[in-house]
Amino acid sequence: MQIDFLTGLVWFLAFLFSTTVHEAMHALAAWRLGDPTAYNGGQVTLNPAPHVAREPIGMLVLPLVTAFTQGWAIGWASAPYDPLWAERHPKRAAIMAAAGPCGNVMIAVTALILMRGGLLVGYFAAPASAGFERIVALSGGGFSFVTTLLSVLLVQNTFLAVFNLLPLPPLDGSAVLMGALPERQAIALRRAGPMMSMVGLLVAWQVFPVVTGPLFSFLLRIVHPDAAYE
């Protein structure tokens, strides 16, 4: 039971940190590119408090409930921006949208480097059976907060980055796509965005479970290229 509680705590803390980085990267990119809306709201920060204050259900309540009842954490967050700025500067808006998933990629890469380093020096070992919370294990065996945290950070941030880059409104990938489209098509997609948001989320929710298995297998191959897992 203790391990279940600690695992839930790790998932929640990892979600809080990862989502804070994601939104802070959005806010930082927007500020640097000419939209100070999120900066003025105090969201260019790694302090989770202003992000939680903006979305208390998505960043606190739901992640806590799912972490301690389901064994993994889900939720949502948001950073304010000026839609008129985004319409005037679609390329900048696309960079702002991509900045959030880039923050998640940075966290995942850092976790991967630490895992590979721990394996190289013999501090970590390949577990007998792998899971989202157990990509590496202590060489001596037993539960480890560090190995669980690194495993969750790698998996969670990889999934967050890929999910958010799906080119469906209201996900970040939709804004990235608009920045790459010709102006006429981008304007049409932007105007249809509010109506398509619920449909986009439903489609993404159906599509993403299909890719989680291959994504996780890909992560295992990167961390343990010589190991074979079912």
For residue 1, pLDDT over 50 is answered with: no
Instruction: State the pLDDT at residue 174.
Output: 83
Determine what percent of the chain is predicted with pLDDT higher than 70.
87
Instruction: State the pLDDT at residue 208.
Output: 73
**pLDDT by residue (tens digit) across 59-102?**
999 999 999 998 889 888 999 999 899 888 888 999 999 999 99
Instruction: State the pLDDT at residue 200.
Output: 52
| CA–CA dist 125, 129 (Å, integer) | 11
For residue 188, pLDDT over 90 is answered with: no
Confidence of residue 210 (pLDDT cuts 50, 70, 90): confident
- Of the ranges 15-19, 162-166, 168-172, 179-183, which one carries the lowest mean pLDDT score? 179-183
For residue 197, pLDDT over 80 is answered with: no
For residue 229, pLDDT over 80 is answered with: no
| CA–CA dist 54, 81 (Å, integer) | 13
Determine what percent of the chain is predicted with pLDDT higher than 90.
63
Confidence of residue 2 (pLDDT cuts 50, 70, 90): very low
The better pLDDT of the pair 149, 186 is held by 149
Domain boundaries along the sequence of the chain: 2-222
